Structure 1
Amino acid sequence: MLRLLQIEYIKLWNNRSSRVLIVAYFALLLCIALIATIKFDIGQVHFQVAEQGIFNFPYIWHFNTFVASWLKLFLAIIIVSMMANEYSNKTIKQNLIDGLSKWEFIYSKFLTVLSFAAISTVFVFIVSLLLGLLYSDYNEISIIFSDLEYLLAYFVKLVGFFSFCLFLGMLVKRSAFALGFLVLWQAFEGILYAVIRWQSDGNMASAIADFFPLNAMGNLIKEPFTRLNAARTVASQIGETITKDYSVHWFEIAIVLVWTALFIYWSYALLKRRDL
């Protein structure tokens, strides 16, 4: 397993574009900390983002994983390019000639996906913990380490999304087309949801859409902004009540894990059938 992972990381690190994207990705994750420094001074009004409670435990786990998940496209580009380079440089054929089985080849890519997701999760955990210890109003151990299920959801979301990108890279063989297909699939899910809703009621359409791959991944971490006291205060002033469920549910994780398994299996099935 370590040998397969080592092979993949040697390939990635020897690719300049991949190195730049990896460094840029983790640099942007660090930029979450810069949110705390944002200040607005307008006349007598003094506003600092960190004072609005976004770095309070345990809310910070929800907020930071949601924000960090938007940056996953950087690693998605690396994964798609990784597959495209295997075909364009003919390294996939050379690996198989050197004795690597087709399953080992796909397994090495999946190990890369898992390692990217794991390192990202640990990185977000460390950044969030430090920010929380600096800015949170609540520092009790029981509060600090509650709601850690958002980190699990973040990890599963990354694994699912990267596995989808791996499948697209294997299917299309060209990074630009694979990324274009990813955008088209997102639009397709939206159109399909609209059609189902037109033919049935909204609740049934939403229930069906929850099983769409990208939508299922998005459901793992709901938007956190309406959890803030400021948002609830504004809502109450206009006569609205926010009753949204922000929890991470086991069945949402299960749906994404099933899609992950399917994407890896389909990637292997494609490789197995192709004449290289």
Structure 2
Amino acid sequence: MNRLLQIEFIKLWNNRASKILILSYFILLTSIALVAAIKFDIGPIKFHLAEQGIFNFPYIWHFNTFVTALFKLFLAIVIVSMMSNEYSNKTIKQNLIDGLSKKEFILSKFLTVVVFALVSTIFVFVVSLILGLFYSDYNELSIIFSDLEFLVAFFVKLVGFFSFCLFLGILVKRSAFALGFLVLWMIFEQMLFGLLGWKFVSWETAQNIKGFLPMEAMSNLINEPFSRLKAVQSVAAQMGESFALNYAVHWYEILIVLLWSALFIYLSYAILRKRDF
């Protein structure tokens, strides 16, 4: 495994565009700390975002994993380009000539996906822990280390998304077309949901079916955290509204994404096995 990972990271590090995107991604992950500096002081109106509770334990695990997951497109570009470069530079053919089997080739890509997801998760954990220790109103250990299932969901979400990107990179070969296909698939899921609810089944059933589709399943792992904020709930209460949302991470949603991840990796291997280089 170490040999396979070493081969992949040498390729990535020698590619200037990939290096810039990877560094930009991790810089963006740390940029969430800048949210703490957002202040508005206009006459009697004083607003400090960090004082609204977004960095309170255990809420910070939910908030930070949701927000940082939005940056995953940077690594998606890296993964899709990684496969595109294999074809355009003919390194895949050279790897196979040098004795790397197609199964080992796919395994090396999947291990890279897992490492990206794992390092991202650890990175978010460390940044969130530091921010929480500085700004949280609650510092008891039992509170600090509760709700860590959001980090598990974050890791699974990244593995699923990157596995899908890897599959598209192998299927389409060209990075621009692969990313375009990714966008089209997101649109397709929404259109399918609308068509099912409009013509064939109830909207509730259509929503349940949609939850089994890959992109929606990944999205469902971490629900939006903003309506959990006391300030938002207070405003809603004054307007006669209330939130009764389920923010928990569910085991069956994790299972759905893991099954999709396994399917994407298997299909990637199946496509590669049938191709001649």
TM-score, normalised with respect to structure 1: 0.99
Q: What's the Cα RMSD here?
A: 0.4
- Give the distance between the partners of 2:190 and 2:139, measured in 1 at CA: 41
- Residue 237 (structure 1) aligns with: 238
After TM superposition, what 4+ stretches of structure 1 lie above 4 angstroms from structure 2? none
Partner of 1:228: 229
Which deviates more from structure 2 when the two are superposed, residues 44-53 or residues 196-205? 196-205
C-alpha separation in 1, matches of 2:245 and 2:51: 24
Specify the SS of the correspondent of 2:252: helix
* Letter matched to residue 119 of structure 1: V
1:119 aligned partner:
119
Q: Distance in 1 between matches of 2:255 and 2:122?
A: 22
Separation in 2, partners of 1:130, 1:184: 38
SS in 2 for 1:20: helix
After the TM superposition, which residues 1-276 of structure 1 pair with which residues of structure 2 at under 5 Å, given as runs?
1-199=1-199, 200-276=201-277
Q: Counterpart of 1:244 in structure 2: which amino acid?
A: L
CA distance in 2, matches of 1:237, 1:255: 38
Distance in 1, Cα, partners of 2:48 & 2:178? 41
What amino acid does structure 1 have at the position aligned with 2:187?
Answer: A
**Matches of 2:211 and 2:141 in 1, distance apart?**
35
2: CA distance between counterparts of 1:258 and 1:234?
A: 40
User: For residues 171-225 of structure 1, what are the alpha-carbon distances to aligned partners after superposition, in whole Å with 9 as ceiling and x for unaligned?
Assistant: 0000000000000000000000000111221110110000010000000000000
* Gapped regions of structure 1 (runs ≥ 5): none
Question: How far, CA to CA, are the matches of 2:275 and 2:54 in structure 1?
Answer: 50
Greater shift in the superposed pair: 232-241 or 173-182: 232-241
Cα shift at 1:41: 1.1
- Report the Cα distance in structure 1 between the residues aligned to 2:244 and 2:219, rounded to whole angstroms: 19
Residue 50 of structure 1 aligns with an amino acid whose one-letter code is A
Q: Give secondary structure in 2 for the equivalent of 1:139.
A: coil
In structure 2, stretches of 5+ residues that fail to align are none
Residue-pair matches, total: 276
- SS in structure 1 at match of 2:10: helix
**Distance between the aligned counterparts of 1:36 and 1:222, measured in 2?**
22
Query: TM-score with structure 2 length normalisation?
Result: 0.99
Residue identity in the other structure for 2:36: A
Q: Once the 2 structures are TM-superposed, how far is the Cα of residue 275 of structure 1 from its aligned partner?
A: 1.3
Letter in 1 for 2:197: R
- Give the letter aligned to residue 98 of structure 2: D
Shift of 1:238: 1.1
Aligned counterparts of 2:41 and 2:171: Cα–Cα separation in 1: 52
* Percent identity over paired residues: 70
| Cα offset, 1:239, TM superposition | 1.0
- C-alpha separation in 1, matches of 2:257 and 2:121: 17
Of 181-190 and 197-206, more deviation after overlay is shown by 197-206
Q: Is the partner of 2:40 in helix, strand or coil?
A: strand
CA positional deviation for 1:263: 0.1
